[in-house]
Structure 1
């Protein structure tokens, strides 16, 4: 089941992080507009490394040599982060492929076997993410966030799916921190590498699509009880997201898509009920 009180408690944290991200995007846009024309000169980032101080417009805050050094350092750090992310990106689809076999082995023993195999692979993902965390400089998390944001969201989704298959409960913040080895910042103010509350919620949203597919496949394999439990879980998760005051951003759009998964699962439950199979507990558990 999903804890609705948790969603109420993170509303303030979500607003703080969303505001911070919007402020960063606004600042970047303002900086880009400023850098397009500086004192009548066209200034491009790629040229900043080669222009001499005497050729720069007389602005007190422009110093090309330190800027050149900073660009070089940024490129060095970014390159190493990218290499580690490639390793993680290769590992995540492998785990997803293992978990996808749950749809063809919906018995309890079959599900447990696939989950155990996926968990063995998760140790490598944890190590890769921690290595990335070591490379991100202090207080520069949002500078590199765009490089690893989607990888973190995918890892959280897979962790949430594993936890559900094990316990039929929602992935909690302590479980995320344990499985990925990274702090979840509920206040959105951590200067170090962390998992933002938005990334956590993005991971949770992704699970509904897999569960709607699982509900259909369970019926195909004669398990009529699991879809009922899936329906209850996804319904609670949807109610939890409804408690959040989401802005018109990517998370809001993804939340809106949950209703289609809810509808698909409800149709499965309806068919089970109409055919009198709702009380049938003959699911194979070998």
Structure 2
């Protein structure tokens, strides 16, 4: 996962590398999916690729957050899975695309919480105390927004619980940083915030 290397290598180079890998995946795997489904009722085949689509949304959303510290719009995901002037051998099709149902987009986004939680905890190990605060605020707003989907899908209910746990861990990390500050060594702080269980924090208290 990308966050494991962010603190050891230049971030811009890692983002460029991740962009290339995603583009390669889009032009190979997802273009083939779009070709196979072109002219078909995609909802007859959705179950065969929905998990992969959610994982793709997770990867795109994490990369987008690293670039912009914001949530990736659905339009960007759709554009990334739209292909123009595709030559399938027998015929050239002007435009084909992979349908991205809103529920699959939302389900993929919920998995972003785990990636951001690990990024927040690892940031502390290198003395970056700003990133956990930013992620804490982002995840709170993100979680609140996804609550609109809570009653519509059993998978969403399950993933929202996981997202809530990730948010709680980041809140705990922020609370620990607020209490301990920079008095402890970076490695000790990282271990400390990783072990805290249920304490919550208020970002308004430490955003100065």
TM-score by length of 1: 0.55
Distance 2:78 2:98 in 1: 12
Aligned-pair CA distance for 1:245: 4.7
Distance 2:38 2:129 in 1: 51
Aligned-pair CA distance for 1:104: 4.1
Please tell me whether residue 251 in structure 1 is matched to residue 152 in structure 2: no
Q: Segments of 4+ in structure 1 off by > 4 A? A: none
The higher-RCO structure (CA 8 Å, 6+ apart) is: 1
Structure 2, gaps ≥5 residues long = 84-96, 183-208
Aligned mate of 1:148, from 29, 39, 49:
49
- Tell me the matched-pair count: 168
Please tell me whether residue 211 in structure 1 is matched to residue 112 in structure 2: no
1:78 is aligned to none
Aligned mate of 2:22, from 96, 105, 122:
122
TM-score by length of 2: 0.74
Could you say which structure has the larger radius of gyration? Answer: 1
Higher strand share: 2
Distance 1:112 1:193 in 2: 29
Gap change, CA 1:261 and 1:156, over 3 Å in 2: same
Does the Cα contact within 8 Å between 2:136 and 2:170 map onto a contact in 1? yes
Please tell me whether residue 131 in structure 1 is matched to residue 43 in structure 2: no
SS of the aligned residue for 1:195 comes to coil
Distance 2:48 2:105 in 1: 16
Please tell me whether residue 111 in structure 1 is matched to residue 11 in structure 2: yes
2:176 is aligned to 271
Of 194-203 and 127-136, more deviation after overlay is shown by 127-136
RMSD: 1.9
